[in-house]
Chain A
Amino acid sequence: MTESPMVVRRGSWLSRLPIRRENLAYAGIFLAPTFLLVLALIIYPLLFSVSLTFTRASTLGAERSWVGLDNWARLLEDPLFRQSLVQTVMYVVPACILAVIIGLGVALVLNQDFPGRMLVRASLLIPWALPPVVVAAMFQWFLDGRRGLLAPWLVQLGVTDTPVAFFTGVPGTLYTLVGIHVWKTFPLIALIFLVSLQYLPRETIHAAQIDGANGWRRFRYVTFPFLLPTIGVALIIQLLVTIQLFDLIFALTGGGPGAYSTYNLYFYAFKTSFEHTNLSYGAVLAYVVTAIIVIFGLLLTRGGRSLRLS
């Protein structure tokens, strides 16, 4: 293409924008409100929070003093940070594995033809759509040691001798939360798999069947390899969701029982900032979580690219 007189291609970055020069003023006017919003709601808070990590600040007072890297250095000596980090992993690993296995299983079942399939598919999303506080209240009642439903059942069925204490054990309580979290999040994972399965042609499965593959081998050699990229994506999505697990902890345990036994980094950051009013160190913790999320988020976008079909 020859040089178009309307699009200026040389000069400063501004003049290289695909905008006619005489329209630049309009562009500025139209973009200004959005730009101001972004500045006020995203860029300024971001910069402010970065600056927070180098000062001593609290939510109570206005006085702030410059402390350099002290807040960051504190990470290294903070046992509760280490514990929260370890517990974050304790949440993430089982939550990812369980949600992907259950989600995959449910998706495979829902991908079959059976009467009432649409109804089951629709009801699948209920746990996911419920507000976290409702889920918390529901399980608090369901799992309560004395008044709850499940513990007496287990005793009656002879599974346990005494009612199981779902919310008092260490680290048992953490796994109770993992269980509830998985119950709430697996529908999304199942949905992702279900969508992906729609792209696996029925004919390919039929071909495998005619070639002599039984159900397990059709899954092992055709469906599973086909779903591998999706499994990667599902794992990372579940990881991101689980790192940010907060509401269930807040509503059900408040970080206990015992010594912070259900803390994760996210919850610790919240506690530090808003209950111990140490905004600076809270911001540092939040940035640690952010860093983890950004790293895995980038992995997700790369995984998503490999998900694209030929």
Chain B
Amino acid sequence: MAEVRLDGVVKRYRGLAHDALQETSVTFKDGLFTCILGPSGSGKTTILKLLAGIEEVTSGRIQFDGVDVTNVTPERRDVAMVFQSYALYPNMTARDNIAFPLQLRGLPRAERYRRVDDVAAMLGIGPTLDRQPRQLSGGERQRVALGRAIVREPKVFLLDEPISNLDANLRMTTREELKRIHAELKATFIYVTHDQDDASAMGDEVVVMAAGRIHQADKPSDVYHRPADRFVASFLGRLPMNFLTGTVSDGDGSMLLHGEGGLAIDLGPRANGFRTPEGQVLIGIRPESVLATRAVGATTGVVGKVTLTEVVPPDSYVTASVDGWSVRARVVEGDELQPGDSVRLRFSLRTMHFFDPSSEQRLETASVEEPS
């Protein structure tokens, strides 16, 4: 229904040293569910506010379907927004909250309430319509806020962490529901969240942000498997990524990784089409792609000592010290390890990420990336 474009948009707040949003150009594709993912203070909510029009851009343009709306007031932009706090009207019943946008558009009462009933049925909040917001549970409030957005049939939906205040189970079912609603309405959804599970569960596209800057805009699996820079690599994933600086070189039939403090890791035979990165590189390795086995009985892999164990169902992880480098690794099923145990760690070249040590940008090694 609408393609949303930011064109060189900058947002600066009075009295703040850093731009809330550095010069940003990004397109939210028509009819797609795009998640803006980032830690707090990354500027993701700022983008929503700029799109809604409740904040003005410092410079740059905003376009809906090629039409410049930069100076259009919020009441004329035809976007709907769901706030993290839900922002329901405290003095109105749930029904009147949902009907309010229609009331403002001059729809007769009967028509308003008919459409409210349709939306309420879709969201399963029919029985709560006569209550006031303070008499509703968090989940019900969230649905009323969602209903208030849906009832307008807007071109663009802006959602600001609408489910972050719900409990884990409700969050999961609401994700499915949002996905279903999106499929039904086929509108452009822009969804702000700090939760990567939201992004991977619902997003057609993910925009990863930090410190007022977009780091990567890609499919959810791509931001995980092909992170554009060190920030994206470390922000995505259940456990923090392992990093080390070193060089990669062709050894005797296999690839060798040399790190600081005499660290040397055999990475196995060179993969097809792998281009060896030049000089010192920053190497990122996800804990889930390092395998730890009990040293006794294993013949391959680097030897290390377990310092910490943790369980992230369904897997167990250990943190091991290898020549002074602390690395987190997934424990091979069946092995039970204790701090102090000796382990062997196996690394694989195909799941390693290489970054330029100064710019921290991804270095393409053209290795065939496959989901691990």
Contact = CB atoms under 8 A, between A and B. Distances in A.
Interface of A: 201, 203-204, 206-214, 217, 221-222, 225-226, 228, 309-310
Interface string B75-110: 111011101010111111000000011001100000
Interface in B146-205: 148, 152
Given A203-B83, A210-B53, A210-B54, 11 more contacts: A206-B54, A206-B74, A207-B81, A209-B53, A211-B80, A212-B104, A213-B75, A214-B75, A221-B89, A221-B100, A310-B133
A207 B75 contact: no
Given A221-B100, A310-B134, A210 B80 contact: yes
B90 A208 contact: no
Nearest to A203: B87
A204 B54 contact: no
B331 interface: no
A209 B148 CA distance: 13
Nearest to B77: A210
Interface of B: 52-54, 73-77, 79-81, 83, 85, 87-92, 100-101, 104-105, 133-134, 148, 152
Contact of A211 (B85, B134, B148): B148
Give 8 closest A-B pairs by Cβ, nearest first.
A310-B134, A225-B91, A203-B87, A207-B87, A211-B101, A212-B104, A209-B74, A206-B54
Contact of A209 (B54, B85, B133): B54
B211 to A, nearest CB: 24
A310 B90 CA distance: 9
B101 A204 contact: no
A212 B53 CA distance: 12
A213 B80 CA distance: 13
A208 B87 CA distance: 9
Contacts of B92: 225
A217 B104 contact: yes
B89 A204 contact: yes
Contacts of B134: 310
B75 A209 contact: yes
A208 B103 CA distance: 12
Nearest to B103: A221
19 contacts: A204-B89, A204-B90, A206-B52, A206-B54, A206-B83, A206-B87, A207-B81, A209-B54, A209-B74, A210-B54, A210-B81, A211-B75, A211-B152, A212-B76, A213-B75, A213-B100, A222-B91, A309-B90, A310-B90
B54 A212 contact: no
A208 B100 contact: yes
B89 A208 contact: yes
